[in-house]
Structure 1
Amino acid sequence: MNNEIILISTTSILTATIKEVLKKRKLDFPIYEATMEEAYKIAEAAIQSGTKVVICRGGTAAYLRDKVGVPIVDIRHGFIDMHLSVESAKKISDKIGVVGFRDICEAANDYNQIMKTDICVTEVKNENEIKEKLKEHVNNGTKVVIGGFQLAKAAKKYNVPYVAGQADPSAINLALNEALHDLKIEIERKEKYETINSILNCTSEGIVGIEIDGQIMHINEIAKKILNYKEQRNIKEILPSSLLIDTANTGKENFSELINIGGQSIVINSVPIKVEDKTIGAVATIQEENKIQSIDREIRKKHLGSGHVAKKTFADIIGRSRVIDVVKKRAVRYAQSDSTILIIGETGTGKEVFAQSIHNYSNRKRQPFVAINCAALPENILESELFGYVKGAFTGARNEGKAGIFELAHMGTVFLDEISEVSTDVQVKLLRVIQEKEVSRIGDDKVIPIDVRILAASNKNLMEEIYKGNFREDLYYRLAVLELELPPLRDRKGDVKELIHYFIKEKTKTNMIIAQDAIQMLCDYDWPGNIRQLANIIERLTVICEGGIIDGEKTAEVLKNMTFNKQDSNKSKEKPASETEAKLINIIEMLIGEKTNTSGIQKTSKAIEKVEIFNEMKKDILSETSSFGPNLFAQIEAEIIKEALEKTGGNREKAAELLCISTTTLWRRMKKFNIL
């Protein structure tokens, strides 16, 4: 049985007629027989179980309409109803009276007017008046009364003949039609309400709607959670700010108010609710500050795209030599810090691999990693990529503007490769970003706070670049809070064999074999291009070699044109090294343990014999050969440089000329021994 509509009858006659009408219309709605308070209890119970419309009659209908929250449809009394009732009453007496609520009384008055009769009609406001009005009718000579269920009880008590108000089937049909229409409206309203409610509850924001006095009209689940809502009726009970009530009273919008509730910061925006330009309340959106930050990070990640993530980890750094192991351990330790890191190393040593590994081992690993090669872009393009720009900032700028990499990498890591190639103008702006932790887009005066960790890399000696005036010293100290120097491949030749097998597997995805003589040739090569060069050579060999074997003949063929050494690959504008400079470099090489035999020392001594400042130290060098070590060489080289500077009054150019070395080499050695 469908209980979306129920019918409450006030008389047994009405009940019988309703059943006939429902049967003819093939409708199956529950019928109850009750009045007033009892009818109210029935209606309340039915509403709890899903009833959306109640059909009733007369005074009981009016009574329910004031108490329940669903539509009440009245089976109205009409002319035919009254005519049938009067005809029944006339069989008892012509002295007829009508006592009841407004609906039946209006029908009786219409009957009097149409039929030119003078039936006495008395309207009552409530059930308690019925007995008194009945007595008045009897005292005035009324012999029979017409009315509803309440009148029937009173007439029986005072032994007055009674005729029930008749029920015209057409009136019941009209009531059913109205009820079905109301049901359709209620279903549509409920659907819309549930849809809106679902929309409001699935947003990431809390939403609260209030009336002008602060009474809460609606609050979604998110707002309940944020505001710790416990069925409070007024917004003042849960929100300490007067912002929302001010909006409701003044009609003025308010945005981005930050307040603290229960130890958490929330952001509130409020707008007035207006009907025909009249403010009737206000609605507010509420967000937790940490949720806004989280959404901001997710948006930045999506703007970055899949290509701006760190894919490498320390496990991807191939090699087990002591030198690379030391660097890896240092990098792991650095990763736990949040300080800037300057990664130094020759081209191809894997600076970006280390940068990505540091990011993926840090606390920022779940945040963006954005890398940019500063040497790959012209100055104006590099500046726009770093800092972003607003609409119309320059010719060719996007209409919507663009966020720079510092904005996009918020909470994550920025890797600035080839940092030495940044112009001094851009260096100034970069320094401000690092110092102030904020960035301004090109063409904008707004400042955007950022939280990024900066990793920088260079294959040049930045101290030399500072000396040449190409790099700002203050920026260098900002970038080089931590330094990580990567060894060239020639200093970790024990790793070459492992790298060869790794690249063969990576390039061929098969078990291609490499001959031992080929491995030896590759291990003996100095690799001025470092790991990148090795990877390229292996890829070339996997392509040109047939039969799944890399042999020595093909390897020798590939390497025969690779005769340039480290010095050739790093040529500069300096003049060629003199014999004395070459011998001084020999001393430096011995400091890292490559040459430690006595004959080498004696040859070096003879080669520099003609240089005046070396003569005074000749005996000391030769007398210490039996206990010669790196520390002694460092002392000797430092003393040579100091004495040259003293003899030239601190003039570096003259000291370099006296030592027969370039000023750049002198500066590099002075930096190493802290002679500045």
Structure 2
Amino acid sequence: MDARILLVAPFQDLYEVAEKVVMEQFADAHACVKVIQGNLQECMEAVKQEIESGTEVIISRGGTATLIEQNVDIPVLPIEVGVLDILRAMMTNGKYPDKVGIAGFENVIYGCEEMESLLGIHFYEIYLHEEAEAETKIKEALAHGVELIVGDAISVKLAAKLGVPAIMIHSGREAVYKVIREAQIIGNIRRQEKEKSVLVRTMIDQSAEAIIATDTDNRITLFNSMAEKLFCISHFEALGKSLFEVIPALRLCETDTIHDVIEDIQQFGDKTIAVKKAILQLADETIGRIYTLQNVSQIQKLEQNVRKKLHKKGLVAKMQMEDIIGTSSICIAMKKKAVKYALTQSTILVTGDSGTGKEVLVQSIHNLSTRANGPFVAVNCAALPEHLLESELFGYEEGSFTGAKRGGRQGLFELAHGGTLFLDEIGEMPISLQSRLLRVLQEKEIMHIGGDSVIPVDVRIIAATNQNLAKMIEEKVFRADLYYRLNILRIHVPTLQDRREDIPLLAKELVKKLGRVNLNVQRLDSGALEYLKQCSWQGNIRQLANIIERVMLLSDGPVITKQDIVEARDEANTDIEQGIEEERDFSTDNLGRMEKDTLLRVLSEEKFNYSRAAIRLGIHRTTLWRKLNKK
């Protein structure tokens, strides 16, 4: 939308010319250019009303333009009188004397001296600064031999009163067109600047930070609404005063250097405030300083909100202690220990065979802890290659390695801030990363890959493994110092073999949970439950769940019998036996040497780049490393 322009015509013929120019040349902007007629004081009321309605630039002529300019705070453009306008006026008289007086306000007679050489006439310029002096100045001109007055409406009116011939200068269409175009340019620039100013002002006032700006004498020039709330001081009280008079504690942030950016923590009464100060410069000149301040408690609340949103995105523990099914003494003892451990902040090491439900226990501990409202982040250390695991855990800066995401990325330690980080299969973590993990446990801070600053983190670590870490320490593949850091509190999850009396309860619960698999199946009979109790479950709860799901898929009736389970187990055992036989064939000494030779050959061809070699071999980088280092 174009800027709104008001053209005030002091007399009728200018009004008619302006209306015609607007209709012919500015038809598309007609609604934005308004023409009214009025002279001097009689038009001021209308001008004020138009300004209140949104007029951004005013156009007028002569004394009316000067008067309006003195009474408004928006741009006022005069309709300049050119040589052509003066010539046009003089030609209406037919002939003219040797000495002609050009009378009017400066914006009317500017440049008329160029006419002398053009027409061979001597012009006497009569400058009017205000209407009251017009008569006196015209009399002075007559005393100097002026025989004809050419000028604006006021000059012509007074000349007639004194009995002197006078001709009014009328503004031509070209002058009106030119000034409207200039007004449009000025108005649009002002509108753009206003929009930018409103945008900046809104951003400043909506900022979560208190923002204070000062000039070179430390006088406050800006004091936003958040600063008002933070210091309980109105900006009316603060503006123009010395910063250190209004907020004395900010003097502590001053240094002797000129080009400085300072970040500091200051105490303001009972509030702890994070302060950042920067120099304001225009070209090479210092024009002031800007301070951004934020209540540390607000930062913490904001951080909590971010964590809650991350929590809603899936970084959440879903399992509760009630989800751990079992009434055996060993299971009850494990749960009691877990409840006690949950109330502490210490690191926990969970041990147990694969499939025993270690993650269910870990999630239950998190949900019982004081960190239950914080995020729960789980990572399997065996599932990711070394370099990827490192970037996932610690995050990275932009450009820190090929393929790094623009803007960098937060690590899992940061995502877990205020909550729990579950490191599953901790025994599979490469030893080079173990030292970094140890430092996090000791210092409670991390550093991004490619970064140069530390980031404090408040994370509880719970690690799990199905390996014998003590033996791994002897084999030099697990750090002893990390082991002792992790093994502060320890819980062992028993196998199904150790808690056979819980198997019937687990089986019934699994049938209930897997009901969607086969809606016809309702229960297991007593024979089936007793048979399940007597079976050997090398894969623990995971294997039991697989068998129950298989039985339910194959079952035709509402009750699962012992025979159903026998058939399902026989089928499953056949699969296992075939897998074991294949493993035996492949793991002979000769094939073992052949495998290692192949791995080394591919690694050599890829110039010992483990990632490219692993891709060619179709295995994880970690698996490749493990196979080559297996004794």
Q: Is 1:3–1:46's contact at 8 Å kept on the other side of the alignment?
A: no
How far apart are 1:362 and its partner, in Å? Answer: 3.6
Q: Is 2:221–2:240's contact at 8 Å kept on the other side of the alignment?
A: no
CA distance in 2, matches of 1:337, 1:38: 84
The 3 A distance-change label for structure 1 pair 30 and 408 is closer
The answer to whether residue 82 in structure 2 is matched with residue 78 in structure 1 is: yes
Q: Is 1:243–1:254's contact at 8 Å kept on the other side of the alignment?
A: no
The 3 A distance-change label for structure 1 pair 561 and 463 is farther
1:438 maps to 445
1:410 maps to 417
Query: Considering only aligned residues, what root-mean-square deviation do their CA atoms show, in Å?
Result: 5.5
Q: Is 1:214–1:234's contact at 8 Å kept on the other side of the alignment?
A: no
1:270 maps to 278
1:169 maps to 173
The answer to whether residue 544 in structure 2 is matched with residue 534 in structure 1 is: yes
How far apart are 1:144 and its partner, in Å? Answer: 6.6
The 3 A distance-change label for structure 1 pair 475 and 534 is same
The 3 A distance-change label for structure 1 pair 431 and 167 is closer
TM-score (norm 1): 0.63
Residue-by-residue CA offset, 1:256-309 (whole Å, 9 max, x unaligned): 45455682423426364444x555566676666567677878999999997765
The answer to whether residue 110 in structure 2 is matched with residue 100 in structure 1 is: no
1:30 maps to 34
CA distance in 2, matches of 1:175, 1:387: 64
2:182 maps to 178
Task: Output the amino acid matched with 1:450.
Answer: V
The answer to whether residue 511 in structure 2 is matched with residue 504 in structure 1 is: yes
Residue-by-residue CA offset, 1:386-430 (whole Å, 9 max, x unaligned): 667889999x99799987643443332122345567799876665
In structure 1, the residue corresponding to 2:317 is in which secondary structure? coil
The 3 A distance-change label for structure 1 pair 216 and 319 is same
2:587 maps to none
How far apart are 1:54 and its partner, in Å? Answer: 1.2
The answer to whether residue 215 in structure 2 is matched with residue 230 in structure 1 is: no
Q: Is 1:317–1:353's contact at 8 Å kept on the other side of the alignment?
A: yes
Q: 1:517 aligns with which of 505, 518, 527?
A: 527
The answer to whether residue 50 in structure 2 is matched with residue 50 in structure 1 is: no
TM-score (norm 2): 0.67
Q: Is 1:89–1:96's contact at 8 Å kept on the other side of the alignment?
A: no
In structure 1, the residue corresponding to 2:182 is in which secondary structure? helix
The 3 A distance-change label for structure 1 pair 158 and 480 is farther
1:603 maps to none
Q: Is 1:35–1:149's contact at 8 Å kept on the other side of the alignment?
A: no
The 3 A distance-change label for structure 1 pair 56 and 389 is closer
CA distance in 2, matches of 1:162, 1:404: 87
- Please show how residues 288-303 of structure 1 align to structure 2 within 5 Å: none
CA distance in 2, matches of 1:34, 1:391: 65
Residue-by-residue CA offset, 1:353-378 (whole Å, 9 max, x unaligned): 12112223444345443334557789
Task: Output the amino acid matched with 2:52.
Answer: Q
Q: 2:345 aligns with which of 316, 338, 357?
A: 338
CA distance in 1, matches of 2:133, 2:254: 46
Task: Output the amino acid matched with 1:542.
Answer: M
The 3 A distance-change label for structure 1 pair 151 and 315 is farther
The 3 A distance-change label for structure 1 pair 315 and 65 is farther
Q: Is 2:377–2:416's contact at 8 Å kept on the other side of the alignment?
A: yes
Q: Is 2:78–2:107's contact at 8 Å kept on the other side of the alignment?
A: no
How far apart are 1:452 and its partner, in Å? Answer: 0.6
Gaps of 5+ in 1: 564-676
How far apart are 1:453 and its partner, in Å? Answer: 0.8
How far apart are 1:449 and its partner, in Å? Answer: 2.4
Q: Is 2:311–2:374's contact at 8 Å kept on the other side of the alignment?
A: no
Residue-by-residue CA offset, 1:609-667 (whole Å, 9 max, x unaligned): xxxxxxxxxxxxxxxxxxxxxxxxxxxxxxxxxxxxxxxxxxxxxxxxxxxxxxxxxxx
CA distance in 2, matches of 1:388, 1:90: 90
CA distance in 1, matches of 2:449, 2:85: 85
Q: 1:453 aligns with which of 460, 466, 478?
A: 460
CA distance in 1, matches of 2:151, 2:140: 15
Q: Is 2:100–2:147's contact at 8 Å kept on the other side of the alignment?
A: yes
CA distance in 2, matches of 1:173, 1:471: 86
2:579 maps to none
1:18 maps to 18
The 3 A distance-change label for structure 1 pair 476 and 258 is same
Q: Is 2:149–2:167's contact at 8 Å kept on the other side of the alignment?
A: yes
- Please show how residues 480-629 of structure 1 align to structure 2 within 5 Å: 482-484=489-491, 486=493, 488-489=495-496, 493=500, 495-507=502-514, 509=516, 510-511=518-519, 512-513=521-522, 514-525=524-535, 527=537, 529-543=539-553, 545=555, 550-557=560-567
CA distance in 2, matches of 1:42, 1:292: 52
CA distance in 1, matches of 2:448, 2:98: 98
The 3 A distance-change label for structure 1 pair 165 and 465 is closer
In structure 1, the residue corresponding to 2:110 is in which secondary structure? helix
2:324 maps to 317
CA distance in 1, matches of 2:97, 2:387: 109
Q: Is 2:103–2:150's contact at 8 Å kept on the other side of the alignment?
A: yes
Q: Is 1:77–1:103's contact at 8 Å kept on the other side of the alignment?
A: yes
- Please show how residues 175-254 of structure 1 align to structure 2 within 5 Å: 175-187=179-191, 230=235, 233=239, 237=243, 241=250, 250=258, 252=259, 254=261
Q: Is 1:3–1:30's contact at 8 Å kept on the other side of the alignment?
A: no
2:4 maps to 4
Gaps of 5+ in 2: 574-631
The 3 A distance-change label for structure 1 pair 489 and 287 is same
Q: Is 1:297–1:410's contact at 8 Å kept on the other side of the alignment?
A: no
The 3 A distance-change label for structure 1 pair 124 and 469 is closer
In structure 1, the residue corresponding to 2:235 is in which secondary structure? coil
Residue-by-residue CA offset, 1:575-601 (whole Å, 9 max, x unaligned): xxxxxxxxxxxxxxxxxxxxxxxxxxx
How far apart are 1:12 and its partner, in Å? Answer: 4.1
Residue-by-residue CA offset, 1:456-499 (whole Å, 9 max, x unaligned): 34557889999999988876665455554545545655543332
Q: 1:124 aligns with which of 128, 150, 174?
A: 128
In structure 2, the residue corresponding to 1:6 is in which secondary structure? strand
State which drifts further: 500-509 or 91-100. Answer: 91-100
The 3 A distance-change label for structure 1 pair 279 and 78 is same
Q: Is 2:376–2:416's contact at 8 Å kept on the other side of the alignment?
A: yes
CA distance in 2, matches of 1:91, 1:245: 77
CA distance in 2, matches of 1:216, 1:33: 45
Residue-by-residue CA offset, 1:429-455 (whole Å, 9 max, x unaligned): 655432332345789885442211122
How many residues in Structure 1 have an aligned counterpart in Structure 2? 558
Q: 2:365 aligns with which of 348, 351, 358?
A: 358
Q: Is 2:58–2:77's contact at 8 Å kept on the other side of the alignment?
A: yes
Q: Is 1:214–1:245's contact at 8 Å kept on the other side of the alignment?
A: no
CA distance in 1, matches of 2:86, 2:479: 105
How far apart are 1:130 and its partner, in Å? Answer: 2.9
Residue-by-residue CA offset, 1:89-113 (whole Å, 9 max, x unaligned): 8999998644322233336544444
Task: Output the amino acid matched with 2:422.
Answer: F
> Percent identity of the aligned residues?
35
Q: Is 1:369–1:412's contact at 8 Å kept on the other side of the alignment?
A: yes
